[in-house]
Each structure stands twice: as structure tokens, then as C-alpha cells.
Amino acid sequence: MDKFITPIFVSVINQINKNKMKNSAIKLNAITKLINDGGKATFANVIAEVSQKQLKRGNPLKDSLITKVVNYNMLLNANYQNMVNNQRLREEKKADFVAKPNWFVKENDSFNGSIVAKKSDTTSKYLFFACNNAKTTKYLVNGIDATKEQIETIKEFRPKTTKAVNQGLDNDIVVRTIKLEGIKEIKCGTKLIFG
């Protein structure tokens, strides 16, 4: 009996994976077109489910998958080095900042593109942006809405944010990357909603 079930099961898993890859490609194409990746700088709003980092020691949720839904207001297609140097000028400092190589490569435009891929796995796609503000709308523990007690634990054990030291700014330029697969909704002139 098992020798008949196993091939069927493997076939179903393979089909699910093919559908996920097809849906990822459709999402990547839709987002790339919407934001005009590599075009002029533009503002956007994104709602995404992202991983919430947690300190492990003493954390009762250390073995749980903690995610959060965040509403981001952002600037896309902007060159990071130029943003920092422009801010340095506003703060009456020398515009001599040089951005260092990162863990990602830009997909469509090496100067100001917002679609990036992990260097070690170019199939992993991310949205790179300057974050104007971010508001967490909910936390999830293993895919289920967190209870009030769990939210308190999550907040207690999240790492402290640190100031950017390389920029030499009083008011840091905050940049983020989020996995494209986690994007639920993006609005950049037109709104796209992903199921």
C-alpha cells in the first residue's frame, strides 16, 4: 500500500511547489511593474508579514515561530548612498559617505533598484526600501494571532534597536528589506492585494 501512496504524495508535493514558484514569479512581476523598479524614487505603502527576531535565553516562546504584520510607509527606487549624503548635507556635514557592499544584489537596476536577491540564493527575492515609518498591527505565534500575554513576552524578548554608526548622522536613514513572499498588499499609485 505504501508504495502506491508515496509516489502520489511526492507528486502532490511537487505540484504544490511548482504552484508556489509560479505564484512567486507572478507576484515578483506584478510588484516590479507596479513600482517601476529602477525608475524614479516613489513613495509606497506595504502591508507585510515579517519575522520578529527574539532573544532566546529565558524566553518561553523561544521555540515558536514569531511573526508580525507591519504597515510600512516607504521610499522606493532611491539610492542609499545618495540618501545618506543628502542627509549629511542637511546636517551641515561633509557628504563623504560610501555605502559598503551588502548581502544582496539589485535585480533590475544596480543604482537605485528596489527588488533585490540574496547573493547566496538568487531565488530569494526581497523589497529594499527607505523606511519612513512602520506600524506593527498584530503579532502571530506559529501562525495564530498572539494572546495579550504572548504579545507582552514578544515585546520583552525582542532585541533592542541600535543606531547606525557608519552613516555619521544625527537622524539615521533607516533602510529595510522584506521578503517578497511576505507582502500581503502594496500601494504605489495602484493597490495590489495578494492572497
Please give the model's pTM, rounded to 2 decimal places.
Answer: 0.84
Helix (H/G/I), strand (E/B), else coil: 53: coil
* CA distance between the termini of the chain: 36
Average pLDDT (112-139) is 94
Average pLDDT, the chain: 88
Compute the distance between CA of residue 185 and CA of residue 121 in angstroms, rounded to an integer: 25
Average pLDDT (80-101) is 95
Q: Which pLDDT does position 191 carry in this prediction? A: 83
Compute the distance between CA of residue 182 and CA of residue 170 in angstroms, rounded to an integer: 32
User: pLDDT tens across 10-40, in order?
Assistant: 444 555 445 555 567 888 888 888 888 888 8
Compute the distance between CA of residue 80 and CA of residue 99 in angstroms, rounded to an integer: 7
Q: In degrees, to the nearest 5, what angle opens at C-alpha 74 toward C-alphas 72 and 77? A: 140
Tell me the backbone φ, ψ of residue 166, rounded to 5 degrees. Answer: -75, -25
Q: Which pLDDT does position 192 carry in this prediction? A: 78
User: pLDDT tens across 138-165, in order?
Assistant: 999 999 999 999 999 999 999 998 888 8
Please give the residue that has the higher pLDDT: either 113 or 22. Answer: 113
Q: Which residues on adjacent β-strands are paired with residue 17? A: none
C-alpha cell at 98: 560610501
Question: Of 6-15, 121-130, 133-142, 182-191, where does mean pLDDT reach its minimum?
Answer: 6-15
Instruction: Give yes or no for residue 195 having a pLDDT over 70.
Output: no
The answer to whether 26 touches 119, Cβ cutoff 8 Å, is no
